């Protein structure tokens, strides 16, 4: 048995050609904005203002997530700490850290971090 094709409803009552026209108008508008942005960039390059990436200052290395997690756990006297709490502490200190990325980093270093409960870690104790 064949299924009947359902017709898509058009809330504004536009014909197919009118819908295509509206879509193309929207695309043309977007392309116009893109063209203006490209022209502006070309103008900036002609003036001799290339936008170079800022170079890292020697000695001012960003700490890794692993280093930040170790620091948080040391500050908390190695009490088991939930990932969301660690991320919250680091965000208050001004670091942009997501708890999901912290989870993957802490799981990759079982020699440093010990999983106590679900998403809760502490520094591994030396035996």
Q: What CATH number corresponds to the domain at position 114?
A: 1.10.10
Q: Per the domain annotation, does 41 fall within a domain?
A: yes
Is the residue at 4 inside a domain?
no
Residue 57 backbone class (left: φ over 0; alpha: ψ -120 to 50; beta: rest): beta
Q: Which residue has the tokens 């208050």?
A: 92
pLDDT tens-digit series, residues 8-47: 666 667 788 888 888 899 899 989 989 998 888 888 777 7
Q: Is 61 helix (H, G, I), strand (E, B) or coil?
A: coil
Among 84, 87, 82, which residue's Cα sits nearest to residue 65?
87
The answer as to whether 97 is a domain residue is yes
* 57 in a structural domain: no
Residue 86 is predicted with a pLDDT of 92
What integer pLDDT is reported at residue 82 of this predicted model? 93
Residues 73 and 112 in one domain: yes
Q: Are residues 77 and 116 in the same domain?
A: yes
**Number of structural domains in the chain:** 2
Instruction: Give domain status of residue 38, yes or no.
Output: yes
Same domain, 25 and 69: no
**Alpha carbon distance 11, 18 (integer Å):** 13
Residue 41 is part of which domain span?
A: 15-52
**In this predicted structure, what is the pLDDT of residue 66?**
92
Q: Strand, helix or coil at 81?
A: strand
Q: Can you give the pTM of this predicted structure?
A: 0.52
């Amino acid at each position: 048995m064949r299924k009947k094709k359902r017709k898509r409803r058009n809330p504004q009552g536009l014909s197919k050609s009118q819908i295509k026209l509206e879509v193309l108008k929207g695309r043309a508008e977007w392309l116009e904005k893109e063209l203006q942005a490209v022209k502006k960039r070309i103008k900036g390059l002609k003036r001799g203002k290339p936008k170079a990436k800022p170079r890292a200052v020697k000695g001012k290395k960003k700490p890794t997530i692993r280093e930040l997690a170790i620091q948080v756990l040391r500050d908390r006297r190695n009490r088991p700490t939930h990932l969301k709490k660690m991320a919250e502490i680091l965000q208050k200190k001004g670091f942009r850290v997501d708890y999901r990325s912290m989870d993957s980093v802490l799981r990759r270093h079982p020699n440093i971090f010990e999983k106590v409960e679900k998403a809760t870690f502490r520094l591994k104790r030396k035996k």
